[in-house]
Chains A and B, each alone.
Chain A
């Protein structure tokens, strides 16, 4: 197991190198630069700024310098969007927000998705199945930029239970400020979880060992809870890895709708502002998260399914 983990961690190196290289060259290829503005910046001012940030050097040299700083000092470079902060600082301040929202969203997704999925699988082709699956379908079809405002209007404006924006508690809201954004994401991911749980459970419920358990006279709840659920969760677990990486690294849309100071926002801002180091920094961070969570998923898989362990 340790060897397996180490091997996977080593794979991170080539993956990151490719990600950095591709992102670096692609972002530099885009027209416009970090300092272009509607009101023209004088050429000598532009030249000074480029020199200050080392953007006047040949691209290859910039690339190598970036790699060197990253490897030797873990330095992701200065941000142009936030002149008083480095990219490391930008991530350090915005990631905790996205982490909180994302984790809560994931919990909500599981709390909503798994029971619905199990219910749908056990009562296959019944009203409960149709209800759960149409809920799931609408959850998938309703994008977060529609769901977010709906939740904000209903729970924020009408009922005044939660915040319509930001992290400061609004008026008499009693829900934590991150609840509505987390619910927006939770409903969307919960819908996927429900569908995946259903199909996973359906497959397992037809297996021989379930039939054996039933034949032995094990109660229906115990069959599902003790025997089926563990195996039925396999597709959900595979989905959770990348989903969790995506959730905790922040959703641009939800952060925009609820005005949260999270990482998803920085990701998009970096791209729009041609903030090369912010683009690279957030992409690297996301890539590391993806690889780590996929590794975690593999470990959980091995725990859930003895066949993988061998």
Chain B
């Protein structure tokens, strides 16, 4: 054999060796046949107890294991999807609701789901000793706030009653037309009373009931395995009332925090869906692999809080000028590049018939004029303020762009200060900042989840901003049963907020992630709450 032949043969062999694995079946291919969804879930969940967690990560798992009265609608989150309740009715002003628990609703150990289980669950999350982060979600229920704050000790006085095994009556503080949407939040989920009491008292925060060997749920899936920092596996629950609709045999949740690692795992065929995409990979996917990348609108706002107690920021003209000098289109097109929408208002669009007043615009001339009127012509004499961000490359890039815009348009010098996450939270809560990066994600499909935070003294206000008219409009909205009138009040309130802003709005979030062609029935949802019983693999 001549040398050239040997070389050719060798080359062919090497090519074959390299190509062989590329053709082989990946883990995702195999899992798709077995109907096991491989799901990139960001970080390790804190716990799987719906009453003590507070994250999106936890929700992805808990919503597969437990079903509330109302479940997630597969295509439009503004619509109610019957869950444990198959029908419901309310009085004229939507302040008293009766839910009928469906026949055949069972816990995963075979016990029937009863109305009393919900009473027990609401009692549990409102118990002061449980110290539930999200107990305030239930404050719309009569007496709930007083009970949670210890002013009321008899739970019978709280507005929830089991009329019989299947009928549950909930009495609310006032008219709450968005109640069905609020009910989809996991703070309203039921837990299995006997299991809770087997592993502790009703208000024990730390309990072994969420371990896989102990967990009892009522959702389409049940907990099979929990390997901390590795994988959480759920499998089909045969006792689920609608088990015939459930397509998947199981889901594996991988807590991969690093976006690059997750993207590599997706490319290697180890995942069907990722949690995120690294910023620098987005343009590549959008160009070459359009069918793999998803850009879904998401119910969240990215903005900068302005500390209105600072001398210059006290002046509404300055705050307005800071908003007018922001070229939001340029930020989303050149920096974030994930399909985000420029936030022309505070409340994101898409919540039913609510129309966000879009008053924010880019008008540098007007901005300069307002700043001059406030006593800082061309930025002269403007104090040296800083933008506080938590340490992160993407927040830094946005802050630098905004710093540049304010410098260029207004002539003011703003610094950037970064702090590690917990220090940053501390500074923000104690208002030790001038301007701070912030984000807000809605809990359910109603504008109040964005607007109540700006009322005077609200724990999430953190800007010192206070407006009596705004407070009163929000309060009135809670007494209004008619949707159109209610939204009119909220729109009026938001208008006040935007004309006298305690913030600079930047963009409305999107969720950008990767999805393989195996996944079927996956829809873009504003709250990103997917009902896993409808998801399928092919």
Q: Which residues of A does B touch, CB under 8 Å?
A: 30-33, 36-42, 44-46, 48-49, 52, 78, 81-85, 93-94, 149, 152-153, 156-161, 164-168, 170-172, 256-259, 261, 265, 272-274
Contacts and interface: CB of A to CB of B under 8 A. Distances in A.
Contacts of B269: 170-171
Nearest to B205: A52
Interface string B420-434: 111101110100000
Given A38-B439, A166-B270, 20 more contacts: A32-B426, A36-B426, A37-B54, A42-B135, A45-B132, A48-B131, A52-B205, A78-B206, A84-B208, A157-B264, A159-B18, A160-B268, A161-B21, A164-B267, A165-B264, A166-B256, A168-B231, A171-B21, A171-B26, A265-B229
A42 B136 contact: yes
B292 to A, nearest CB: 15
A94 to B, nearest CB: 7
B154 interface: no
B264 A153 contact: yes
Interface in B120-138: 128-129, 131-133, 135-136
Interface string B45-60: 0110000101000000
Given A37-B133, A45-B132, A83-B205, A261 B420 contact: no
B264 A45 contact: no
B257 interface: yes
Contact of A32 (B21, B270, B423): B423
B149 interface: yes
A210 B387 CA distance: 66
A82 B211 CA distance: 12
Contacts of A32: 421-423, 425-426
Nearest to B207: A84
B500 interface: no
Contacts of B128: 44, 48
| Shortest Cβ-Cβ A-B pairs, 8 listed | A32-B422, A261-B229, A160-B21, A48-B131, A40-B459, A32-B426, A164-B264, A31-B426
B94 to A, nearest CB: 26
A171 B27 CA distance: 5
Contact of A164 (B18, B129, B261, B462): B261
B268 A30 contact: no
A52 B131 contact: yes
B131 A30 contact: no
Contact of B149 (A40, A44, A46): A44
A166 B211 contact: no
B333 interface: no
Interface string B133-168: 101100000000000011000000000000000000
Contacts of A41: 133
Interface in B7-59: 18, 21-22, 24-27, 46-47, 52, 54
A149 B150 CA distance: 53
A49 B210 CA distance: 19
A158 B22 CA distance: 8
A156 B206 contact: no
A31 B267 contact: no
A45 B135 contact: yes
B260 interface: yes
B230 interface: yes
Contacts of A168: 27, 230-231
Interface string B246-261: 0000000011111011
Q: Is the interface of A mostly helix, strand, loop or mixed?
A: loop
A171 B258 contact: no
Contact of A40 (B46, B52, B256, B429): B429
A272 B391 CA distance: 12
A170 B27 contact: yes
B231 A166 contact: yes
A171 B228 contact: no
B77 to A, nearest CB: 20
B420 A272 contact: yes
B24 A33 contact: no
B265 interface: yes
Nearest to A274: B422
A158 B18 CA distance: 8
B264 A156 contact: yes
A175 B233 CA distance: 24
Contacts of B227: 261
Contacts of B425: 32, 36-38
B460 interface: yes
A274 B424 CA distance: 13
Contacts of B423: 30-32
Given A48-B131, A170-B268, A85 B228 contact: yes
Contacts of B150: 44
A51 to B, nearest CB: 9
27 contacts: A33-B422, A33-B426, A37-B133, A37-B425, A39-B54, A40-B429, A42-B136, A44-B149, A44-B150, A45-B131, A52-B131, A52-B206, A83-B52, A83-B205, A84-B208, A84-B211, A94-B229, A156-B268, A161-B21, A164-B261, A170-B269, A171-B27, A171-B268, A172-B24, A256-B261, A259-B265, A265-B229
A258 to B, nearest CB: 7
B54 A170 contact: no
A161 B427 CA distance: 47
Interface in B286-324: none
A160 B22 contact: yes
Given A84-B47, A160-B24, A42 B257 contact: no
A170 B421 CA distance: 34
A164 B256 CA distance: 11
Nearest to A93: B228
A156 B429 CA distance: 44
Given A156-B264, A165-B264, A166-B230, A172 B46 contact: no
Nearest to B424: A32
A81 B262 CA distance: 22
Contacts of B229: 94, 261, 265
Contacts of B205: 49, 52, 83
A235 to B, nearest CB: 35
Contacts of A36: 422, 425-426, 429
